[in-house]
């Protein structure tokens, strides 16, 4: 097995309305990985256009995700933050991967089935090919580690299958060109644990989502302190007091969710939270949760608003990140073209 330098890559769609689920489920992990790895974080605008987008909204959402990264503590100078469309090698390698991946592999993708729904004939070809672009995002940097939510696990397995098939199909050419046994690493998912899965405040069985019609189902990163307080106070609970042990949360999905949010925001575990709040009623616990949420999210929201008022700074961050990403992508893509036998 070839050795690859450890490199983290992940992507976030510019879909607007970033919420607590995105923060606890993904962005905090992005921030902590910066201490141990070289990281590349990408706003995946090419993925966004697999469904219709309004150009003005898309531009705003690209800047907003970038602002969220920075406000949450991603450092765009030590690491790379950029938007996908500005590095053409993503789309180029995706084409190569469209020719490596098999129809049968893509036909198994559950996210396509969900997103295309009943009207599959009318889904874009891009939505179908989405996973090959995602594989290209990762592998154009030969990234080794990919922090994602568990809904992306299947796509990551596909990326590994594509990397492996490419390495096999072209093994002779790869070796001939001095790359050893294989050109692409098999990227490893860093799956967020269930502890960081944030559920809707209105229904503890559904994930917190930006597409939920009720804004009370989620806490947005740019919500004001008053809005956060209102949403937490209105969050669905049950009539019982909090249990003292984690076992006592089973079958109480709303209670479990609020305790999980408190634990994640405070950096502790659910047992720590229950040690402190076991036996107390929800109104008391919710007051504590409001205080903690406002303390943690208030500064992030304020920083996002500040950054959003200065788009030229954000644009400069993205341009700088893109040009650094392009250097790595271009080198790998040149090697891929050579491996494939394209004459230059």
- Site of interaction with ligand TRP (CB under 6 A): 9-11, 13, 44, 47, 134, 137-138, 146, 148, 152, 155
User: Catalytic residue among 113, 165, 210, 236, which?
Assistant: 210
Known catalytic residue: 234?
Answer: no
Residue 340 makes CB contacts below 8 A (sequence gap 6+) with 96, 170, 173
Which residue among 115, 165, 236, 296 is the active-site one? 115
Q: Which is nearer to ligand TRP, 9 or 69 (CB)?
A: 9
Q: Which is nearer to ligand TRP, 10 or 196 (CB)?
A: 10
231 catalytically annotated: no
Rank residues 15 and 237 by Cβ distance to ligand TRP and give the closer one.
15
Nearest CA-CA partner of 232 in 279, 179, 152, 288: 288
Out of 165, 207, 236, 296, the active site residue is 207
Q: Give the shortest CB-134-to-ligand TRP separation in angstroms.
A: 4
Nearest residue (CB) to ligand TRP, 140 versus 174: 140
CB count within 10 Å of CB 235 equals 21
Is 286 an active-site residue? no
Smallest gap, in angstroms, from Cβ of residue 245 to ligand TRP?
Answer: 34
Q: What are phi and psi of 190, to 5 degrees?
A: -110, 95
Give the separation between CA 87 and CA 55, rounded to whole angstroms: 19
Q: How crowded is residue 92: how many other Cβ atoms within 10 Å of its Cβ?
A: 17
Which residue's C-beta sits nearest to ligand TRP? 11
> Is residue 142 helix, strand or coil?
coil
Q: What does the buried/exposed string (b/e) look like for 197-221 if buried means 16 or more CB atoms within 10 Å of the residue's CB?
A: bbbbbbbbeebbbbebeeebbbbbb
Q: Is 36 exposed, middle or buried (0-12, 13-18, 19+ CB in 10 A)?
A: exposed
Give least dist CB 286 to ligand TRP, A.
Answer: 30
Closer CB to ligand TRP, 9 or 277, in the complex = 9
Q: Report, as residue numbers or ranges, the catalytic residues.
A: 115, 207, 210
């Amino acid at each position: 097995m070839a050795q690859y330098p450890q490199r983290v890559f992940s992507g976030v769609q510019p879909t607007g309305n970033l919420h607590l689920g995105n923060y606890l489920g993904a962005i905090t992990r992005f921030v902590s990985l910066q201490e141990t790895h070289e990281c590349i974080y990408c706003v995946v605008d090419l993925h966004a256009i697999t469904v219709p987008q309004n150009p003005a909204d898309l531009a705003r959402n690209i800047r907003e995700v970038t602002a969220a990264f920075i406000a949450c503590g991603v450092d765009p100078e030590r690491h790379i933050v950029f938007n996908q469309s500005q590095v053409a090698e993503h789309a180029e390698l995706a084409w190569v991967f469209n020719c490596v991946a098999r129809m049968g592999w893509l036909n198994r993708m559950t996210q396509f089935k969900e997103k295309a729904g009943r009207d599959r004939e009318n889904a874009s070809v891009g939505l179908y090919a989405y996973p090959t672009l995602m594989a290209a995002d990762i592998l154009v940097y030969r990234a080794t580690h990919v922090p994602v939510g568990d809904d992306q696990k299947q796509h990551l397995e596909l990326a590994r299958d594509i990397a492996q098939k490419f390495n096999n199909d072209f093994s002779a050419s790869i070796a001939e060109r001095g790359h050893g046994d294989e050109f692409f690493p098999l990227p490893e998912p860093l799956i967020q644990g269930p502890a960081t899965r944030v559920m809707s405040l209105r229904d503890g069985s559904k994930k917190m989502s930006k597409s939920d019609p009720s804004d009370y189902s989620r806490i947005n990163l740019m919500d004001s302190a008053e809005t956060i307080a209102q949403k937490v106070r209105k969050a669905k609970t049950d009539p019982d007091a909090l249990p003292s042990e984690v076992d006592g949360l089973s079958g109480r999905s709303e209670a479990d969710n609020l305790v999980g949010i408190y634990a994640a925001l405070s950096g502790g575990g659910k047992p720590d939270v229950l040690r402190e709040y076991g036996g107390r009623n929800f109104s008391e616990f919710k007051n504590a949760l409001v205080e903690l949420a406002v303390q943690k999210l208030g500064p992030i929201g304020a920083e996002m608003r500040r950054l959003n008022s200065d788009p030229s700074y954000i644009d400069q961050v993205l341009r700088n990140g893109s040009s650094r990403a392009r250097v790595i992508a271009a080198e790998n893509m040149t090697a891929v073209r050579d491996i494939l036998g394209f004459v230059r």
